[in-house]
Amino acid sequence: MTLIETVLAFTLVSLGLLAAVSLLNTSFLLSASSRHNNQGEQLLQEIMEFYSQDYVHGYGDTTYQLEPVVGADQVTYQREFALSTFSTSLGAPVRRLEATVSWQWKGQPKDKTRVKLVCRPGR
């Protein structure tokens, strides 16, 4: 009877440890995914802030590729932005800025895109 109780106790403890390890693995994956999303969001915000300045009006209406950035876990973030003329009414040119950051993690492509209208200040 003692041998059966020992085997049963060992089995229950093993199942509990297996469940804990599975939860820990899922927690690590979710944490890494969140870290990559935050890094992509930060890069996107930097692009939007930098290229929404006044001198953005010197760029032509096209898509520009920026240098890739290597982030956490050696994930490479591809960055690009596109500028186009949105409106020239009211005497002040309004430009449309669309920025995209894309990366691949665990074989899944991910991307984030933001659009902002930019006009020259004081015009």
Per-residue pLDDT, 1? 73
pLDDT for res 41: 94
The per-residue pLDDT for 71 is 84
Residues of the chain with pLDDT under 70: 54-58, 90-92, 120-123
Place of tokens 């599975």: 22
Q: Which helix (H) or strand (E) holds 84?
A: strand 76-87
Write down the pLDDT at residue 23.
94
pLDDT of amino acid 121: 59
Contacts of 97 (CB under 8 A, 6+ apart): 48, 51, 52, 56, 81, 82, 83, 115, 116, 117, 118
Question: What pLDDT is attached to residue 120?
Answer: 66
Full-model pTM: 0.74
Per-residue confidence (pLDDT) for residue 94, from 0 to 100:
80
Judge contact between 97 and 115, C-beta under 8 A.
yes
Q: Are the C-beta atoms of residues 96 and 83 closer than 8 Å to each other?
A: yes
